[in-house]
Amino acid sequence: MIIDEKKISHRVAGLDLFRVVAAVMVLLFHCNIHHGNDFGAFTGFVSMGAVFMTAFFMLSGYVLFLTYKDKSLVQAPSLKNFYLKRVFGIFPLYLVVAMLYVVTLGQESSFQNLVLLPIEVLGLQSVFSTLFPVSHNGGTWFISCLLFAYLAFPLMQEVVKMMTTRTKWIALAVCVAVLFWSPLVVHTFKTDSIYSNPFFRGLEFFIGVLLCSLPVTDSVAKWIATWKALLVEVLLLVAGISIAVRLNIFVGNYMLYDWIAVPLFACMILTLAGLKSPRLQGSSVLRYASAASYAFFLAQTFNTEIENWLFAACGIQNNVLQIAVSVTLCTLMAIALHEFVEKPCAKMLKKK
């Protein structure tokens, strides 16, 4: 059976933890690629931390279906409210970050920014793969991909609800096969990267939707929703990626590592979704960190440039100190963005 809504309270705590870990791992990945920070035996694993963006998209699809699985979004009022919530939840902070970056760190000319303006405002930059290194898009590309996924979600939901369990497994297998094979095409024919491609990120999102919709028997749920299962999944993920990096297998081709990441992230989501932990559920720190995770992702747009200046100005060369400064700086910026942009917009939405 599918876990019912009465159990969602303990599920959310586990998924909050997964969301926070994904955000932190992406930051540590940036520390490694931008500053060469060393993480000892885990350096190889952290150097491929970009795979946690796959975790983020899978989790987004899973949580959204979990939230709306018993509701219909085909009627006008429900559909309107769904899209308004997404707009209020994403655009205010995104536009503030984009504007701040253009004003403070942007290298583009006024004419270039004017040409980019409609694309940036509508969140269409992920359609243009070569815009990834332009302006703030190296840090905000995922929002564009997420917007496309949210746009398609009401249709996804209704289609998935009409599927039989067998059809869901077939759809899941097709999505996974496309994700696994496509990076090989990129490598073989030297095509543009699919890392920020909304279609492939949409597949990861859809995998999360399908994962949430699949029936889970009581015996399987009891076995998988344990700390021991989570420990095994984490060890397999770290070991699999570390060994592949050590063997120099397509290092840097982050989407190819979906071969390892997708099945293990799927298991982790199911484990944390069913994990009963009063300590996690009662943690106000975890709830706040999860709520501010979107701001934490976006704060990383500024982190590298500020760190480059700060490390040079203060002569910070110690590896551990650099990592600590990066985490602290990103956390402070995330709190500021969350408190002064996200929260006021959320209050405005509630009033509406």
How does DSSP assign 32-69, residue by residue? HHHH----GGGHHHHTTGGGHHHHHHHHHHHHHHHHHT
129 lies in a domain? no
State pTM to two decimals. 0.94
Residue 224 counted as domain residue: yes
Residues 6 or more apart whose CB falls under 8 angstroms from that of 72 comprise 78, 158
What total number of domains does the chain contain? 1
**How far does CA 120 lie from the centroid of its chain?**
20
Rounded CA separation 42/25 (Å) = 12
Hey, what are 303's tokens? 């982190």
pLDDT in tens, the chain (352 residues): 333 334 444 447 999 999 999 999 999 999 999 999 999 999 999 999 999 999 999 999 999 999 999 999 988 899 999 998 999 899 999 999 999 999 999 999 999 999 999 999 999 999 998 899 999 999 999 999 999 999 999 999 999 999 999 999 999 999 999 999 999 999 999 999 999 999 999 999 999 999 999 998 877 888 899 999 999 999 999 999 999 999 999 888 999 999 999 999 999 999 999 988 888 988 999 999 999 999 999 999 999 899 999 999 999 999 999 999 999 999 999 999 999 999 998 888 777 7
Of 168, 172, 252, nearest to 204 (Cα)?
Answer: 172
What is the domain extent for residue 62?
5-73+142-351
